Amino acid sequence: MSRILKKYRFDFNFYVRSYQDLRNFNASEAEKHFIEYGVSENRFCSAYHFFLSNEPRYSELISIDEYLDNENAAKDSSPLQLCEQILQDLTFGLASKRDTQFFSAETQRPGIAGHGRIREWTRQFNKPNIKVLEVGSRSVASKAKWKEFIPQVDYTGLDIIEGDNVDVIGDAHCLSDYFDEESFDLIISFAVFEHLAMPWLVAEEISKLLKVDGHLAIETHFAFSEHELPWHFFQFNCNGLKSLFNEALGMQVLDYGLDNPIIGRFAEHSRPHLRNLPVPNLYCHSSIIAKKYKRFDHEFFEWRNALPEVIGDTMYPKGTGISKCL
């Protein structure tokens, strides 16, 4: 009897707190239950037992108390729940105070253009005389609709496929074929620019449709899973959208940057010298808010000529921080 308890390092507190039906057992009852039923029912009687069964290399190293002291785990979690959370942390990684070491202060972070904050910024446009165009308006993953958030505006939703919340079916690359130039006060687009085959053309079309003093709000992805293939073409870092909506198109950037940090590492199937190495400065969302402050002559506009406006007086850096990790 004591051999089994010793083998798995039976912990009375762990056992009775982890299983609701054992909460009222005393020490001898719990020990007897584990031997007669717990082993055959694959119940765990200690953190050592849990990791011995799931991840043996950690069985001698894991301390629940230390984990609670250093992480964001709920203090009222059962010992078994904590072990499962630690295992998930070891396998996939869990959000914790340690995450800050993977992010640089040099990354441009948005203010009013941050994920979820753009909505608050758009409240100022919720007026009957404001014309709003949403590029990619079809309700797909989310049922939230912008025309419900800003209900007083004159709203038009455009999408390449017919569906819920679509007023005009059309290609974003050809916006000026469907609408008059300088006819909108605000143009918004969310989770769309990654699906555009030539997003620079869409940026040009948006600039055509915006009134002078009109605004745009765009959010897309910087680091995210491929989806809706084969129509997934681009990811945008913090300067990606800024380079599209540049001064040559008459745009003044009000806010931009990356939001919703992601922890990443190279996986088992990576090259051996890369496996398990962290990939710093990953963010899910890239966004921009800009204002059209002047007209531009789209008849003579060329992206080659816009290059000086995009790169300014900057030079390509001689070294990058990412190489230190690789």
Higher pLDDT, 64 or 20: 20
The domain in which residue 250 lies consists of 118-324
What's the Rg (C-alpha) of the chain? 27
- How confident is the model over 57-79, as a mean pLDDT? 77
Q: Kindly state whether residues 166 and 307 are assigned to the same domain.
A: yes
Residue 223 lies in a domain: yes
Between 276 and 132, name the one with better pLDDT: 132
Q: Tell whether 167 and 312 lie within a shared domain.
A: yes
Q: Is the pTM of this model over 0.95?
A: no
Q: What is the pLDDT of residue 73?
A: 63
pLDDT value of residue 316: 86
Instruction: Please name which of 175, 125, 129, 161 lies closest in space to residue 146, comparing C-alpha atoms.
Output: 125
Query: Does the pLDDT of residue 134 top 80, yes or no?
Result: yes
Report which of residues 227 and 92 the model is more confident about: 227
The domain tally of the chain equals 2
Find the range with the poorest average confidence among 36-45, 88-97, 219-228, 257-266. Answer: 88-97
* 189 and 261 together in one domain: yes
Q: What is the pLDDT, as a whole number, of residue 149?
A: 86
Alpha carbon distances (Å) from 169 to 178, 190, 207: 9, 17, 20
What's the rounded Cα separation, in Å, for the pair 65 and 291? 53
Distance separating alpha carbons of residues 168 and 177, to the nearest angstrom: 12
Based on the fold, state whether residues 90 and 122 are members of the same structural domain.
no
pLDDT at site 62: 83
Is the pLDDT at 44 greater than 70? The verdict is yes
Q: Do 146 and 29 sit in the same domain of this protein?
A: no
* Residue 222 reports pLDDT greater than 80: yes
Please check whether residues 129 and 267 belong to one and the same domain. Answer: yes
Does residue 245 lie within any of the structural domains?
yes
158-162 mean pLDDT = 95
Same domain, 81 and 183: no
Q: Can you give the pLDDT at residue 298?
A: 85
Amino acid residing at 205: E
Lowest pLDDT segment from 47-51, 304-308, 315-319 = 315-319
Mean pLDDT of the chain: 90
90 within a domain of the structure (yes/no): yes
Q: What is the pLDDT of residue 24?
A: 95
Statement to judge: residues 273 and 188 lie in one domain: yes
106 in any annotated domain: no
Which of 71-80, 123-132, 152-161 is the least confident region? 71-80
- Note the pLDDT tens digit of each residue in 167-181: 999 999 999 999 999
Q: Which amino acid is at 219?
A: E
Q: Which residues face 288 on adjacent strands?
A: 218, 256
**Whether residue 66 is found in the same domain as residue 29:** yes
Q: Are residues 316 and 248 in the same domain?
A: yes
Range scoring the smallest mean pLDDT among 123-137, 185-199, 303-317 = 303-317
CA proximity to 301, closest of 247, 261, 227: 247
Give 90's pLDDT tier (boundaries 50, 70, 90).
confident
Q: Does residue 104 lie in a domain region?
A: no
